[in-house]
Structure 1
Amino acid sequence: MSLVPLLNYAVDGPSDPDGEDTLTAVVVRATVGTAHRCLRDHLTAHGLDPDDACLVLSELLGNALLNGGETAAVAWRLSGDRLRIGVADTAALSLPVIQNACTREGGRGLLLVEQLAHSWGVRPLGTLGKEVWCNLEVKAA
């Protein structure tokens, strides 16, 4: 996995030895839009529709920065039409559970992730916090 500064990310950057394209970056509130654009550019450059993946990334980053601190680590790996997105933060392992019938203005991001992703979950990172991850099938553009 290559470590790439978010603002210097190039769509045609090197692939890892397995032929998979990977990006890892640290994101703060001011760079969420940049992370979103990088994913959009990355998928578009591969002839893939970025809309669902960008929505999922926005939801995961929003949760991490709202509940997990000032920064989050984001990584994605594209292999063919399969995309894995992971967002790590320093918060404890729990995530708020929102019911389908909730009438709150916000708080439904994980329901969107569940609807759009093939699979998703939370992985503990010991004393460092947690990673919320998902696997998506990305359609051709």
Structure 2
Amino acid sequence: MTLDPAELSAHTARDVLRTVCTEARIVSETIETALLLVSELVTNAVVHGGGRPALDIDVRPDLMHVSVSDNAPGTPHVAHEPVTSEHGRGLFLVETLASRWGVQPSDGNNKTVWFELDRVPRTPPGLRPV
């Protein structure tokens, strides 16, 4: 899905991801983490990436893979900003909360930043996790 190059793109991405996660019956804790992380990646793509960011969501039985592509060259880096900082903590959150993440450069002028979250199986009603 290609998003508009505007700050509301993060809102749109969260709405789309929430719908996909709900339909895939992903547990709420995983959904909340995914929503935070996609918001950070899309915001970075809009602010630093130029052009229209592209969102890709792949839900598998054991994991969720989310990627955001933009038109900026280079590899973003994790900044270790103070907790009180309003900016610069997006990739730190991705690094901290994602099961895995990375950056895939493409033709020299584009890149894709992705994260994966391991899926926690839902406990059927009436059963308790062991």
TM-score range (shorter-chain normalised) is 0.7 to 0.9
Which of the pair has more CA radius of gyration? 2
Between Structure 1 and Structure 2, how many residues are aligned? Answer: 117
Return the TM-score normalized by structure 1. 0.74
Report the AA paired with residue 60 of structure 1. L
Aligned equivalents of 2:119, 2:17: Cα separation in 1: 12
**C-alpha distance in 2, partners of 1:74/1:42?**
12
Identity of aligned residues (%): 33
- Aligned 8 A contact 1:93 1:130 in 2: yes
Shift of 1:139: 3.4
Q: Does residue 47 of structure 1 match 2:25?
A: yes
> Could you list the runs of 5+ residues in structure 1 that have no partner in the other structure?
1-24
| Distance in 1 separating the partners of 2:89 and 2:82 | 10
Q: Match for residue 36 of structure 1?
A: 14
Instruction: Quote how far apart the aligned CAs of 1:109 are.
Output: 0.6
Contact 1:53 1:138 in 2 (8 A): no
**SS in structure 2 of the partner of residue 126 of structure 1:** coil
Q: Secondary structure at the match of 2:120?
A: coil
Superposition map of 1:1-141 within 5 A: 25-28=1-4, 29=6, 30-48=8-26, 49=28, 50-99=31-80, 101=82, 104-139=85-120
Alpha-carbon shift at residue 128 of structure 1 (Å): 3.8
Could you say which structure has the higher strand fraction?
1
Residues 45 and 70, structure 2, Cα contact 8 Å, conserved in 1: yes
Q: 1:140 to 1:106 in 2, by over 3 A?
A: farther
Q: Following TM superposition, by how much is the alpha carbon of 1:76 offset from its aligned partner in structure 2, in angstroms?
A: 1.1
Contact 2:51 2:71 in 1 (8 A): no
Shift of 1:66: 0.6
